[in-house]
Chain A
Amino acid sequence: MRRKKRHHDSIMPKKRYSWMRLGDLPSGRKGIVRRLRGGGALTSRLTAMGISLGAELVVVQNFGQGPIIIKVRNTRVALGRGEAAHIRVEAIDE
């Protein structure tokens, strides 16, 4: 069930599904963490580093490929693109 929904994330027009992969958020943009996937071990590491549901983050570096850098709870965190794909964020318009 859930998996199906995730599959349609990118094409669903409804606003509720406008959450995007963290890796697709360009440098300088802000977002709020809305969903974490990738299994218990990964999500527990992410949350312990401050990337929890509802946390506000800003993308510091994202060159469209390779690892990205974000700033969350005043901490700079480097993430592999694979790890970033498990984080869905709601982009905040400035």
Chain B
Amino acid sequence: MNERGTSKAAGSQEPIMIALAGQPNVGKSTVLNMLTGLRQHVGNWPGKTIEKKTGIYHHNGTSIQIVDLPGTYSLTANSLEERIARDFIIKEKPDVVVAIADASALERNLYLIAELLSLPAPVVLGLNMMDVAEQQGMHIEPHVLEAALGLPVVPMVASKNQGVHELMDAVMRMARNPASYNPNRPAIEKDQQALVDSIQALIANEVESPYSEAWASTKLLEGDQEITAIVSDCLPPEKWEQLHEILMSHEDAGLTIASSRYQWIGRMVRAAVIRPGVGQVTFTDRADQVVTHPFWGLLILLGMLGSVFWLTFTIGQPLQEVLDTFLVQAGAQWVRSSLSGAPDWLSGLLADGIIGGAGMVATFLPILAIFFAALSFLEDIGYMARAAFIVDRLMHLMGLHGKSFLPLFLGFGCNVPAVMGARIIDSPRARLLTILVAPLVPCAGRMAVLAVLAPIFFGEYATLVSWALVGLNLSIIVLVGVFLHKVVLRSERGAFIMELPLYHMPNFRTIGLSIWQNLVAFLEKAGTIIILVSVVIWALSTFPHGNIETSYLAQLGRLLVPAGRLMGLGWKTMVALLTSFIAKENTIATLGVLYGAGKIHGDLSVIMGTVLAPAAALSFLAMQMLFIPCVATVAIIRQETASWRWTAFSVGLLLVISFAAGITIYQIAALVGWGM
């Protein structure tokens, strides 16, 4: 810290780096958005699937790099987020840590500050949501709190851009003169101090830097898993035995340390909070009487989801069609006509391979934009936590958190936002589990295929068959969820403790940014994979003779005939399934081409209806509903899990499930006498 102090003397224009810390729901991202807007870089923390946002802000000629730490309630390594946050402060040594606190829940928020003060970086406190505190009848004196804590305290209303500039002024002053930082750190009680001292003596000179021994000793007493693991690695066995004994006989030390922190907090806020504002019945209290009610809350949730789908189908789908007609088809047409002299393969590659792929990426955008708008709107106003609360009981079974419900439900529209939407889930395991079951949710593309083919095969029973197949998908989701939870991931279902934040007006800047960042992420990563795969599939279905019936894809389909025979399916239907990898809707078009029908309706129905026996048709539809995710979903799974292994696992899992279901259904149906 001292070297930092000298290197960044007053008046120098040297860039500085700050970390933005705070508990969840305190408006931390609003502060970041106010400061950096679109100049944000969204990535992942190294080796983790947790989002890392950084941004550059220029303050009076100085460039400030802002690193947004994950929102955490404390800094004990119970979760990946907490570990990331504290490791960043300890190892990357930001010039200043900016802690954002919710003024209306000051005591709880200061708990994180109490922990931050024991780390070696100067802290500046942004006291956000001052307006909310006032509305609740509280009155807080920032200056008194500043004097008590011994660090700069800046009152703010970040959503109205009040105090953000002043906060950065305070940050600059601190960065230029870190020697002035002398906070009032939470003291440990006397009997606890002796305990900490005895531990510190044991680990002295044994613990690897960058952790300070005093800090590590406290964390050991708090039962911190990461520090305990590190110390047990570093310590010679006999000392570890001694230490272990001390820790075992003081199992409740963590509670005592926490209590002493709250006592310290009590002393800090006693003078600063002039009116505590008790007993006020707020809007949130009144709204929650209905919104979190087991029955009415469920109705509201269904209404919300219904509206999201209504929006998608009234705005998103027409837009998607317009894009498809005027961008993709027109583009392909234009390429074909302007390349009329060129070889067939070239115009085919450009029109079908590249523009086809790029067009598909583009046509995803309206639907994704609507989904992300809805997701971040519900998150921003504070509703998401309530939705999770309402459905938690249902999701319990699969080892999933209530928050998994929303992304999965979105999957009925399209699996791509379902997988991306899993970002809202805090626990990495639960997020992975959600991503793995998401492709089993029947998306609009598959439902469209079902809607066309079921009447062709089953006439008046089409609706019944369709419902049965959707039901099959949903039951398999539950089965696979339980299986993955219990056998593969062996995930402990995280304890259900969740803050229900105050409701507040939506911040359209935050929502807009969230849509933008998600769309850019989709275009950058998934987009390129989709175009590549589209070109490959085009090549497979065209070469060597420019005819799909003799193409490599068809040969691949013929290879699958032995497996297909178990389901009563020939190579044409297998190829149709393969092409659904590009987009689920392709199944119909491929069947149309292979069965020589010019139009989907009419001809196809006559031919198909006679080609497949009911047992085979049923197994084909089941396969279609359960087959490997489309390329866009696969690309997004790769993006979100940051792992090819889990992506391959997901594809393999669905492959196995779909074949198993297809074979089982055909064999049973044939047994019952629905076969030829």
Interface string of A32-51 (1 = CB under 8 A from B): 00001010111111111110
Query: Residues of B contacting A75 with CB < 8 Å?
Result: 105, 108, 499
Number of interface residues of A (CB under 8 A): 34
The complex places the Cα of A63 from the Cα of B251 at a distance, in Å, of 33
- Size class of the contact patch on chain B: 35 or more
The complex places the Cα of A89 from the Cα of B225 at a distance, in Å, of 28
- State the Cβ distance, A8 to closest chain B Cβ, in Å: 20
Are A52 and B497 in contact (CB-based, < 8 A)? no
Are A73 and B385 in contact (CB-based, < 8 A)? no
Closest B residue, CB atoms, query A44 = B76
Query: Residues of B contacting A72 with CB < 8 Å?
Result: 108
Which residues in window 242-285 of B have CB below 8 A to A? Answer: 251, 254-255, 258-259, 262, 284-285
Closest B residue, CB atoms, query A76 = B500
Please tell me if B78 contacts chain A, counting CB pairs below 8 Å: yes
Query: Residues of B contacting A44 with CB < 8 Å?
Result: 74, 76, 78, 222-223, 254, 258
Please tell me if B326 contacts chain A, counting CB pairs below 8 Å: no
Are B385 and A78 in contact (CB-based, < 8 A)? yes
Please tell me if B104 contacts chain A, counting CB pairs below 8 Å: yes
Query: Residues of B contacting A80 with CB < 8 Å?
Result: 392, 495-497
Are B111 and A60 in contact (CB-based, < 8 A)? no
Please tell me if A53 contacts chain B, counting CB pairs below 8 Å: yes
The complex places the Cα of A79 from the Cα of B392 at a distance, in Å, of 11
Are B500 and A69 in contact (CB-based, < 8 A)? yes
Please pick, from A43, A50, A53, the residue contacting B111 in the complex, using a CB distance under 8 A: A50
Are B496 and A40 in contact (CB-based, < 8 A)? no
Closest B residue, CB atoms, query A49 = B73
Are A50 and B255 in contact (CB-based, < 8 A)? no
- Main SS of the interface on chain A? mixed
Closest B residue, CB atoms, query A55 = B262
Interface string of B202-219 (1 = CB under 8 A from A): 000000000000000000
Please tell me if A83 contacts chain B, counting CB pairs below 8 Å: yes
The complex places the Cα of A73 from the Cα of B499 at a distance, in Å, of 12
Query: Residues of B contacting A73 with CB < 8 Å?
Result: 105, 107-108
The complex places the Cα of A20 from the Cα of B499 at a distance, in Å, of 23
Query: Residues of A contacting B136 with CB < 8 Å?
Result: 74
Query: Residues of B contacting A52 with CB < 8 Å?
Result: 255, 258-259, 262
Interface string of B367-410 (1 = CB under 8 A from A): 00000000000000000010001001100000000000000000
Which residues in window 13-47 of A have CB below 8 A to B? Answer: 36, 38, 40-47
Interface string of B103-130 (1 = CB under 8 A from A): 0110110011000000000000000000
Are A49 and B108 in contact (CB-based, < 8 A)? yes
The complex places the Cα of A78 from the Cα of B497 at a distance, in Å, of 6
Are A41 and B78 in contact (CB-based, < 8 A)? yes
Please tell me if B51 contacts chain A, counting CB pairs below 8 Å: no
Please tell me if B87 contacts chain A, counting CB pairs below 8 Å: no
Please tell me if B498 contacts chain A, counting CB pairs below 8 Å: yes
Are A54 and B74 in contact (CB-based, < 8 A)? no
**Known pairs A50-B111, A53-B255, A78-B385; A45 contacts B262 (CB<8 A):** no
Are B498 and A54 in contact (CB-based, < 8 A)? no
Query: Residues of A contacting B498 with CB < 8 Å?
Result: 77-78
- State the Cβ distance, B120 to closest chain A Cβ, in Å: 21
Are A40 and B73 in contact (CB-based, < 8 A)? no
Given A46-B497, A76-B500, A80-B495, 7 other A-B contacts at CB below 8 A? A41-B223, A44-B258, A49-B73, A49-B497, A78-B392, A79-B496, A80-B496
A residues bordering B, Cβ < 8 Å? 36, 38, 40-50, 52-55, 60-61, 63, 66-67, 69, 72-80, 82-83
B residues bordering A, Cβ < 8 Å? 73-74, 76, 78, 104-105, 107-108, 111-112, 136, 222-223, 225, 251, 254-255, 258-259, 262, 284-285, 288, 292, 294, 385, 389, 392-393, 495-501
Q: List 11 A-B contacts (CB under 8 A).
A: A41-B78, A49-B499, A50-B107, A50-B111, A61-B288, A69-B500, A74-B107, A78-B392, A78-B496, A82-B495, A83-B496
Q: Rank and list the top 6 A-B pairs by shortest CB-CB distance, nearest first.
A: A40-B223, A80-B496, A48-B74, A47-B258, A48-B73, A76-B500
